[in-house]
A and B are shown apart, each in its own frame.
Chain A
Amino acid sequence: MSRTWIVIPMYNEASVVGTVIEGLRKEFPHVVCVDDGSTDGSQDIARQAGAVVVQHPVNLGQGAALQTGIEYSLQDPQLDCIVTFDADGQHRVVDALAMADRIRSGEADVVLGSRFLDDRTKLSPLKRLVLRTAAVQSRMSTGMALTDAHNGLRAFSPTVARGINLRQNRMAHASELVHQLAEMNPRWVEHPVEIIYTDYSKSKGQSLLNSVNIVADLFFR
């Protein structure tokens, strides 16, 4: 028997995370939720929804939570795929399923979600411009021809997951991840995914100003 683990970084998501995990558990029985020091009771909701909850004793940031989730999943000897998924409900389970299947079938070692491969995702022009610029920047610095460098939905084979070591705790981890993948040079593909922008995910999501922080983190590492 083989197992796919879903890794969800979580920080104060009590109002949505239960629904997200229940939706996932219909297709993926193994969900690990990395709680990054939530203070709103998200942990109990996630546990009741059927996820394994790994709790950081202090808040460290999303990158650190992802790394913890990956390391937890790697303890499973029957692991065949790791999928990272956002807690705020902006990803679709069907997309995750299709991506995990591409890993499990052996088609690729890394499947990265991209919201720009079809026209399902509706974006404001400014956000589109920023994300496109980020993709061009990461293409120039890593040689990986990505169309969407900051998508939270990704699937890895265990071999690739073992090679990931995120040191950027906060928001620059997405760029760091692309750099590490480029160095490993695995077989990778992009998969079209839809990002569902609800009012909630908009309010939780990164503001465009945060791109300033990302650039600063990358410069002074």
Chain B
Amino acid sequence: MQIIVQVALVLAVIIVSLALMRGGSNARHLAIRRIMLVLFAFLAALSIFFPELLTRVARLLGIGRGTDLVLYGLIVSFLVFMATTYQRFRHMESTLTKLSRRIALDETPPPGVDGPPERKEAEPDRRLTPPAHGGQ
């Protein structure tokens, strides 16, 4: 019985993560994530006040204690959180890349149609943006 619950939980992690990762930031997914969060918070609070209630549910599922059930739920929601956050970061990174590239290209005169560029002596910095610090 326990192994079935464990397999079901792992499957739930994968399916929910995939479902939430796809489409990323649309309103429906955000709503689902928020509902899940509220539900989880509610269950967690409930388990503090009525530990035996969750334990009964856990027994039903073949898991030892109610707190274990909460722990499993926490792991699932943490993984979903990680997956969606990762996705959001990737999205933000690609936006930043496009923006930076546009700035970089706009600040450089495009290749002319005449011959090879002249050898220039320490041309003044014509960038509008201040130089970056830090990096990697």
Q: Please report the C-alpha to C-alpha distance between residue A72 and residue B117 in the assembled complex, in whole angstroms.
A: 15
The interface of chain A, by Cβ under 8 A from chain B, is 1, 3, 5, 11-12, 29-30, 34, 36-39, 43-44, 47-48, 50, 52-60, 64, 67-68, 71-73, 75-79, 167, 169, 220-221
How many interface contacts (CB-CB < 8 Å) are there between A and B?
Answer: 94
Q: Are B135 and A11 in contact (CB under 8 A)?
A: yes
Q: Count the B residues whose beta carbon is within 8 Å of the partner chain — how many?
A: 33
B75 to chain A, nearest CB (A): 19
Q: Are A54 and B104 in contact (CB under 8 A)?
A: yes
Dominant secondary structure at the B interface: loop
Q: Please report the C-alpha to C-alpha distance between residue A56 and residue B98 in the assembled complex, in whole angstroms.
A: 11
Q: Please report the C-alpha to C-alpha distance between residue A147 and residue B55 in the assembled complex, in whole angstroms.
A: 59
Q: Are B107 and A64 in contact (CB under 8 A)?
A: no
Inside 8 A of B131's CB, which chain A residues have their CB? Answer: 37, 39, 55
B22-38 interface (Cβ within 8 A of A): none
B86-136 interface (Cβ within 8 A of A): 86, 90, 93-94, 96-97, 100-101, 103-105, 107-108, 110-111, 113, 115-117, 119-123, 125, 127, 129, 131-136
Q: A54-B105, A57-B103, A71-B101 are in contact. Are A78 and B132 (CB under 8 A)?
A: no
